[in-house]
């Protein structure tokens, strides 16, 4: 059963999970506005703005990972976390006042863990991309093939170099 879940997560893609998460935020604010508008409540607006602002970068990461032949599982934990947030928001948007404080605590804990995970993923991807670029430049300088990579050129050259190195 866990294997089937993994396949559905990976097939889903981070872009779809992100869109579903943003939609769940919008629905939660619409269905239960009083739960999310008071000062002591959970700040869904900030979470929504954060997600919308990083959406293009996340979609680019997913696309570039695919183009460079990287595993789809690299972003699996982010997809899983966004699905967790979507489910939590769907549950919390239908609660009565008696359960509100429990869901607020769960939403705050989720938000903190989501931000930490996102920060970690972005740092790891950045570090790996920098190491890969250094490796490609080293190959170029040391005459390791016909890989041409200028420091300020775009991803098409990087993809060409990466593809060349993979097939060499």
Model confidence over 102-142: pLDDT tens digits?
A: 888 888 899 999 999 989 988 988 898 888 888 888 888 87
- Determine the pLDDT at residue 41: 65
Q: How far is CA 82 from the centre of its chain?
A: 8
- Determine the pLDDT at residue 149: 44
The alpha-carbon radius of gyration of the chain (Å, integer) is: 20
CB neighbourhood size of 48 (10 A): 17
Is residue 35 within 8 Å of 41, Cβ to Cβ? yes
- Determine the pLDDT at residue 39: 60
pTM: 0.69
Listed as ranges, residues in the chain with pLDDT below 50 are 1-11, 146-158, 163-168
Phi, psi of 145 (to 5 degrees): 135, -170
- Determine the pLDDT at residue 74: 79
- Determine the pLDDT at residue 80: 92
């Amino acid at each position: 059963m866990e294997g089937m879940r993994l396949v559905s997560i990976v097939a889903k893609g981070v872009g779809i999970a992100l869109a579903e998460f943003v939609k769940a935020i919008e629905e939660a604010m619409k269905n239960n506005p009083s739960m999310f508008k008071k000062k002591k409540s959970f700040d869904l607006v900030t979470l929504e703005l954060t997600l919308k602002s990083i959406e293009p970068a996340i979609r680019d990461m997913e696309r570039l990972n695919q183009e460079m032949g990287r595993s789809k599982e690299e972003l699996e934990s982010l997809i899983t976390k966004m699905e967790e947030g979507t489910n939590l928001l769907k549950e919390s948007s239908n609660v009565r006042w008696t359960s509100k404080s429990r869901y607020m605590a769960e939403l705050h804990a989720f938000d903190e863990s989501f931000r930490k995970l996102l920060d970690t993923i972005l740092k790891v991807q950045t570090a790996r991309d920098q190491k890969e670029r250094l490796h490609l430049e080293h190959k170029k300088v040391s005459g390791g093939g016909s890989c041409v990579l200028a420091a300020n050129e775009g991803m098409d050259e990087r993809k060409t170099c990466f593809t060349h190195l993979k097939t060499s």
